[in-house]
Chain A
Amino acid sequence: MPKLVIDGREISVPEGTTILRAAERLGIEIPHLCYHPKLPPVGLCRLCLVEVEKNPKLQASCSTPVAEGMVIHTESERVLKARRGVLEFLMLNHPPDCTICDKAGECKPQEYVFQCGIAESRFIETKRVNPPQDFGDKLVFRVDRCILCQRCVQFCREIAGMEELGVFNRGGRSVIGTFRGKPVENKYSGNMIDICPTGAITSRDFRFKSRVWNLTMVPSICPRCSNGCNIFIEFKDNKILRIRPRDNEQVNQCWICDEGRFGHHFVNSLDRLTTPLIKNGGKLSPTSWEEALGRAAEGLGRVIANYGAESLGGIGSAWCTNEDDYVFQKFLREVVRTGNIDLGKIREEKDESYPGNDFLIQPEKAPNRRGAEEMGISPGEDCRDREGMFKEAAGGKIKAFLIIGSNPAKETGAREALAKVEFLVVQDLFLTDTAKQADVVLPAASYAEKEGSFTNFRGRVQWLNRALRPRGEARPDWKIICELANRMGGDFSYPGAQEILKEIAEKIPAYREVSLEKLRADGILISTK
């Protein structure tokens, strides 16, 4: 372990560590633009120059490994002068258009220029003008803002697994571009919005939606597949405006896929259910919670009284949190006393468009299949699974269904089976085909509007924080089930999802280690079966 001194402070780091990383350990931030911890150092921007004693020239700290006895200065006069000069060169062709740039506010060059106190450019010549380029419908590329750090080129090559960008021409005419002007198509291209240190690559989806300092960030978990990537939900006026990755070395490092990044619009959709609906004379009409819950409890109770608990089936959801699913199965097992419980069908999609595209994306397009199963969303002994339930419903043995967060009406035979049942209660975000057939439809809160936990496909349990107020009168699924259970003779009095989590930790052996603090940090890997 070489020992070295940075700014008068001693530190020893493993062999091969770069000066920049060693300084980071001491809490010293050396300004840098091209270096990114997840990409190989290229030493292009020259902003991270530091003074190494007994070395005639300043060294690029991002690519110089430490050596025994090095004495490094990161804030000496020589370094500051060089940094100022480099920054001035980098800004030569960079337009001063922070006023309209979406990056402004989280832009590194902007920050560094502000720190250096450079107010005016000495450059009187006309700025370089390169022809505009189209990067496809996810990204907006503003070639004049580019400082040629090549992070995007590196990202495509090293992380996304599809070499789509390159540097064309030489010297002052160098320009980033796509090969033959093809649009960028890799499944992780949105990450280039984050890693681009300037506003050269910005998001088409978020374009001009808001200045970044007006957004509120809430840590959450991406619901688009079973990988459980850590995200920040960034919102304004109770509307999600963008999703950005949150660092978690165990799950997604600092990346997310484009589906997760741009696939949040369903939360803000105007088609969301906002009030409970009940069927009156074959037509669904809005009503109050009181009436809808009363109708649901009465309808389910009637079926149980007339045909027995075995005539009721429940379909849980891999889109719901562990807490929702736990309360759901507890309601069916302890209040209704039926074991006809199964999980709604999960869309599976294996994308093989290019090798390496699956480094985050999982084929299972629901966040919590594993968690739901472990919560007990599976048929009890001598009880029917999903297909069995629909078969029996078609045969007239199952008379009522309680379906949360899934749309089985798309499956073969299920639509006919659902049409035959006497009573159908559906809890969902949207008026799905299944909900259209229901007697009572209850509006549920989306993942951004409730607290809870997801278990990813590897068994990592992670916590979702509430970001938004639920749309309209929507409520979290567990709350709806509790209300329903209390109307049917149960006693479900959970003040919040956190108390349900505590009960899960007590009741389910695999989850005994689970606690809110651990879930909020990096999540916790439950013991595998």
Chain B
Amino acid sequence: MRLKDKRLNILEYFYIPPILKGMGITLRHFFSRKVTVQYPKVKKEIYPRFRGAHRLEKNEQGREKCVACELCATVCPSKAITIEAAESPDPEVEKYPLRYEINVLRCIFCGFCVEACPKEAIAMTDRYELADYSREALVYNKEMLLK
């Protein structure tokens, strides 16, 4: 079977009406409410359950709540968390994380670590501007996470 081209009529032949139609849409949006945000001068509102960079929580004494149970590291699907546990210098606490590192480059911000934590020691903040100049700087250590 042969396909026949549809013959254009005279109006279609000059492309004028389609151009006018397109310009009309453009002009309508030109005067309607804008959806783009002038980032970074203007920032969008962050919702309360937004999952940004992690933070380690502190207890009343100002020490980390974390007891190095490694449940966050165990549940982490991208193996971004490294914990080295040790005997705590605080006589009231038995175990504490000597080293607690989150490799933000590996992290997929799923929030499983927050869910798994039995001590509510890790939370996710609304901080999302995480770019840096080196890979090393993106492995957050305990001190950075406690800030």
Interface residues of A (CB under 8 A from B): 97-100, 104, 207-209, 211, 213-214
Contact = CB atoms under 8 A, between A and B. Distances in A.
A100 B87 contact: no
Contacts of A211: 69-70, 74
B85 interface: yes
Interface string B110-132: 00000000110000000000000
Given A99-B71, A100-B68, 20 more contacts: A97-B94, A98-B69, A99-B67, A99-B69, A99-B118, A99-B119, A100-B67, A100-B94, A100-B95, A207-B87, A208-B68, A208-B85, A208-B87, A208-B95, A209-B85, A211-B69, A211-B74, A213-B74, A214-B70, A214-B74
A209 B71 CA distance: 15
B86 interface: yes
A100 B95 CA distance: 6
Contacts of B71: 99
* Complex A-B, nearest 7 residue pairs according to Cβ-Cβ distance, in ascending order: A99-B69, A208-B85, A100-B95, A211-B70, A100-B67, A100-B94, A99-B67
Given A207-B87, A208-B86, A208-B87, A100 B70 contact: no
Nearest to B83: A211
A97 B68 CA distance: 12
The number of chain B residues touching the other chain, given as a range, is: 10 to 19
Contacts of A98: 69
Contacts of B70: 211, 214
A100 B74 contact: no
Contacts of A104: 69
Contacts of B67: 99-100
B68 to A, nearest CB: 7
B81 to A, nearest CB: 12
Interface of B: 67-71, 74, 85-87, 94-95, 118-119
Contacts of B94: 97, 100
Contacts of B95: 100, 208
A104 B69 CA distance: 10
B137 to A, nearest CB: 24
Nearest to B119: A99
Nearest to A98: B69
Contacts of A213: 74
A214 B70 CA distance: 10
Nearest to A99: B69
9 contacts: A99-B118, A99-B119, A100-B69, A100-B95, A208-B68, A208-B87, A208-B95, A211-B69, A213-B74
Contacts of A100: 67-69, 94-95
A97 B119 CA distance: 11
A99 B68 CA distance: 8
Nearest to A105: B74
B88 to A, nearest CB: 10
A104 B67 CA distance: 14
Nearest to B94: A100
Contacts of A99: 67, 69, 71, 118-119
Contacts of A97: 94
Max count, chain B CB within 10 A of own CB: residue among A99, A209, A214? A99
Contacts of A214: 70, 74
Max count, chain A CB within 10 A of own CB: residue among B74, B85, B86? B85
A207 B87 CA distance: 8
B118 to A, nearest CB: 5
Nearest to A209: B85
Nearest to A211: B70
Max count, chain A CB within 10 A of own CB: residue among B74, B87, B95? B95
Contacts of B69: 98-100, 104, 211
Nearest to B93: A100
A103 B131 CA distance: 40
A207 B84 CA distance: 12
A236 B62 CA distance: 32
